[in-house]
Amino acid sequence: MSAAAKAPAPGAPPGRGALRRNLPPARRFLAGRKRVLVRLGGWSLLESAQTFLGGYCLAQALDRGFLAGQTGTGLLWLAVAAASILGAGPPMRGVFTQLAELTEPLRDALVRRAVRQALRRAVTDPARTDDRADTGAVSRLTHQTEIVRDSFAGLVLTVRAFVFNAVGALIGLLALAPELLLVVLPPLVLGIGLFLATLLPMASAQRAFLDADEAVAEGVGAVSAGHRDLVACGAQADAAERTGRLIDTAERTSRVLARWAALRTVALGVAGQLPVLLLLVTTPWLLRQGVTTGALAGALTYLLQALLPALHSMMTALGAAGTRLLVVVDRFQDATAAPVPPKAPDPDPDPDPDMVVEAGTPRGRRPSRTAPAVEIRAVTHAYGPDSPPVLDHLHLTVRRGEHIAVVGPSGIGKSTLAGVVSGLVAPDHGTVLLGGEPVTGATAQDLADRRVLIPQQAYVFTGSVRDNLLHLRPDATSGELTYAIRVLGAEPLVDRLGGTDAVLDPRGLSHGERQLLALCRAYLSSAPLVLLDEATCHLDPAAEARAERAFAERAFTDGARARGGALIVVAHRLSSARRADRVLVLDGTTPRFGTHEELLTSSALYRDLFGHWQHTPPPAGS
């Protein structure tokens, strides 16, 4: 069995990858709103006319009016410029009306995506939700959608203002004196080019910073939530080391982001200040070329009052809001990617004999002709296109009637493995077989007939106790129902509730009571394969041991074995490993599979975990 956690192959920088991922949906979004864009451009052309008149009228007021001794003419040109300023109200109103037609549909689409993603995660990975809200979905639904809307609106406004102000200003400079363009355009183009060259690296740095910041938050939250397990297993030092690495990574990414921000400031200085400086330095040469005083004043007006403020706003928006918009929208793309469709089974590559271990089969011996209960062939799975694989080229064989325990640190992929085996999570590559039959393409009823999965958060609904327990097998007899309740030790609970015909209120049950009822329901299921994904974590150790023994005996019965029966336990306590026939240790590098005694010799992680568990008293209240 080979498992897991190889580093992902290096790919394109996150900024370029994000741009490639988001350009197609952005084009589709804008293509569906061509009329809005045309109306927005029409209103913005009026702003270009205002920009043109501002500098041109000032130049004419000086050259044809005040400097020529024609005061009335000068005042008339200034009145035209003032009228263009006063007439800017209706165009701006039209601009903001069309802007709303762009931003609000974008926000609504992102809200729908966030809701779909949260529902998909709740269905495909219920064990991750426990009693806490999906904070990532809540953030996307509220804070991040507002970030996208505000950033997109600001970006459209500033880019539109620069483009149309630049059109008006450059036409004005050309009309006043073509020589002015020779002075103004080179530094302007140079600064804009330098700035655009920093956009994608800046987006990469921004995304790396956000990823590192979220990793710190998630890491600290995981340590806080699992402190009892960390203390019980003596893993405090390892948790502190991992958290420290996350903090160091966040510090490095913030420094890289600061360096790119400094380069962006240089680009702003080249494009925003150098044209004015060159215009002043070249004034004597321009005057010798016949450029008038009014034309120079008009050029300064274009630069200082229109072009450079719009350029500064656009660079600031693209450098801050633009990169933030690209990163946040890309996170929506990652989080709401369509679920992986069922794939045809990949051709099963010959597994490396040094990396394959079959339960109950000595290394090198061929398995029996009887199909195993579970067979995983070269399975790889990751939760996003840029995420490292949680399961990497995993091979695993569980034979009929076996009791397997899965142990390892939090987040290593234990629940993902349970989801892949149960058919709830489609792997990116590889094949999963239950009783010799592929999971791919199986209907929900087919899967329900083959396996039953009990997650950590047990589902109990309002109704009678009997309805809850017979939910997976309504045709079970009263004798079978009574036996399941007794063998799992649920008789006191059922009696307290008022018997099997009593109405059940889920709000009045503890987590352990819900788990016990869910275990009874799974025991009555006709599915031969049982997967317990920390399904006994809220039970006391004695109740947990009783439940696991009951399910192990159920899997070993002739009928269940003949149909591919087995028990796979994602262990909450290492005592579950002692009761199992074989133990799978996931450690992120080289997983081990063997008996308890074998793993004490071959797996340093298992040896350390078991030693700490054996010699450390459980925390109070556990």
Q: Identify which of 173, 177, 181 has the alpha carbon closest to the alpha carbon of residue 289.
A: 177
Pairing of strands 429-434, 592-594: unpaired
Can you spell out the DSSP letters for 548-571? Answer: HHHHHHHHHSHHHHHTT-EEEEE-
**For residue 225, what are the contacts with CB-CB under 8 A and spacing of at least 6?**
none
Whole-number pLDDT of residue 368: 39
| pTM listed for this prediction | 0.47
If you average pLDDT over each of 225-234, 484-493, 595-604, which comes out highest?
Answer: 484-493
Helix (H) or strand (E) holding 300: helix 293-301
The predicted model gives 77-101 an average pLDDT of: 85
Q: Identify which of 413, 359, 355, 421 has the alpha carbon closest to the alpha carbon of residue 587.
A: 413
Q: Which pLDDT tens digit goes with each residue over 123-134? A: 555 444 444 445
Whole-number pLDDT of residue 232: 53
- How far is it, in rounded angstroms, from Cα 172 to Cα 294? 12
Whether residue 67 is predicted with pLDDT greater than 50 in this model: the reply is yes
**β-sheet bridge partners, residue 569:** 405, 532
Q: Choose between 597 and 352: higher pLDDT.
A: 597
Whole-number pLDDT of residue 61: 92
Whether residue 436 is predicted with pLDDT greater than 90 in this model: the reply is no
- Angle subtended at Cα 92 by Cα 89 and Cα 96, rounded to the nearest 5 degrees: 140
Whether residue 508 is predicted with pLDDT greater than 50 in this model: the reply is yes
Angle between helices 511-524 and 541-556 (to 10 degrees): 10
pLDDT confidence band for 560 (50 / 70 / 90): low
CB 67, CB 293: distance < 8 Å: yes
Q: Which of 118-132, 193-207, 394-408 has the lowest mean pLDDT?
A: 118-132
Strand ranges across the sheet with 437-438: 391-398, 374-381, 429-434, 437-438
Helices (H), 61-144: 71-86, 89-124, 135-139
- How far is it, in rounded angstroms, from Cα 590 to Cα 559? 35
The predicted model gives 345-371 an average pLDDT of: 42
Q: Choose between 3 and 582: higher pLDDT.
A: 582
Which residue's structure tokens are 């109740």?
543
- The token pair that represents 572 in the structure block: 């909450």
Whether residue 139 is predicted with pLDDT greater than 60 in this model: the reply is no
The predicted model gives 519-534 an average pLDDT of: 91
Burial class of 26 by CB neighbour count within 10 A (0 to 12, 13 to 18, 19+): middle
pLDDT confidence band for 360 (50 / 70 / 90): very low
Whole-number pLDDT of residue 425: 86
Phi/psi of residue 567, each to 5°? -130, 125
Length of the chain: 622
Going by the DSSP 8-state scheme, the letter that residue 459 receives in this structure is: -
Phi/psi of residue 348, each to 5°? -75, 110
Pairing of strands 429-434, 437-438: antiparallel
pLDDT confidence band for 218 (50 / 70 / 90): confident
**β-sheet bridge partners, residue 583:** 405, 594
Whether residue 586 is predicted with pLDDT greater than 90 in this model: the reply is no
Helix (H) or strand (E) holding 524: helix 511-524
For residue 392, the SS3 value is strand
Whole-number pLDDT of residue 231: 60
Phi/psi of residue 394, each to 5°? -85, 130
CA dihedral 12, 17, 20, 22 (to 10 degrees): 180
- The token pair that represents 254 in the structure block: 């913030």
How many CA atoms are closer than 13 Å to the CA of 63, on its beta-carbon side? 16
